[in-house]
Amino acid sequence: MPEQTPKKRHRESHQLPAGRHGLSRQFVVSNQRERILAAVAEVCSASGYVAMSVEDIVVTSGVSRRTFYDNFRGKQDVYLAAYDEVTTQLLTVVVSAYEAADGLAAKMRDSLAAFLQFVADEPAFADMCIVEVMAAGSNAIERRNRTMKAFAELIEQAAAAELPKSKLPPSLTAETLVGGIYEVVYARVLQGHGSQLPALLPDLLFSVLLPYVGRETAASLLEDERRGSGPAPAVTQTSRS
């Protein structure tokens, strides 16, 4: 019987070539770290934080256990690193939309739209950062709270820049609004309906703007959004009822 030639092991597209590949050490280390962090989101989304293991992450990322432990101390350490990476990307997208818009209503509209679209486009990240964060321990929840506070501060900054101090609602308002949006998003992501989040923009925008611009203006902007008439106009001080 003729001897069979051993089959070559299939190499995934994300894995580096074996042997002398001519890539710099810095590139290799960075690539390995990125693959590990991406694997955390994938495994966490599929199995949940509690069931996720280092072995799952190693297999999914295509790195060795030694490489994993050269970069991270263990499961929670790598989860927190992945969470930080994703939320940094999210905040960058949201803040960019916020800064590019002009006026309270437009800033709230564009930054909220950016947030909802990011979550819809990245279901694994959404599962990891919005749902599974609650099971990942106190350090993870503290990070979640800091992220939510950053969003609340954007609302407060936009309102303070446009409305007189006497017209501003209590300081807890922005934090309450962000908490409510989080619960709405959490429920959709948990049910596997994250892709539907951008369609909630009109109603969520109404809820965010109501305490700052009054019902009449908020309702007008709601109808504009439902008709798809474009970015919300700037809100004047006299618009608030």
Cβ-count burial 81-103 (b if 16+ within 10 Å, e if not): bbbebbbeebbebbeebbeebeb
User: Residue 189 phi/psi, 5° resolution?
Assistant: -65, -45
Choose among 108, 134, 118: nearest CA to 187. 134
Which structural domain, as residue segments, surrounds residue 62? 25-74
Q: Does pLDDT of 20 surpass 70? A: no
- What average pLDDT does this structure show over 49-61? 97
The pLDDT of residue 216: 95
Residue range 206-228, pLDDT digits in tens: 999 999 999 999 999 999 999 88
Number of domains comprising the chain? 2
Say yes or no: 231 and 213 in one domain: yes
Choose among 138, 136, 133, 156: nearest CA to 86. 133
CATH number for 109: 1.10.357
CA–CA distance, 238 with 241 (Å, rounded to integer): 8
Say yes or no: 54 and 147 in one domain: no
Say yes or no: 193 and 146 in one domain: yes
Say yes or no: 45 and 148 in one domain: no
Strand, helix or coil for residue 25: helix
Do the domain assignments include residue 4?
A: no
Considering 74, 99, 134, which residue would you say is the last residue of a domain?
A: 74
The pLDDT of residue 228: 83
Do the domain assignments include residue 214?
A: yes
The pLDDT of residue 229: 64
- Cβ atoms of 162 and 237 within 8 Å: the answer is yes
Say yes or no: 41 and 140 in one domain: no
Q: Does pLDDT of 30 surpass 60? A: yes
Q: Rounded to two decimals, what is the model's pTM?
A: 0.83
Q: How far is CA 148 from the centre of its chain?
A: 11
Q: How far is CA 235 from the centre of its chain?
A: 28
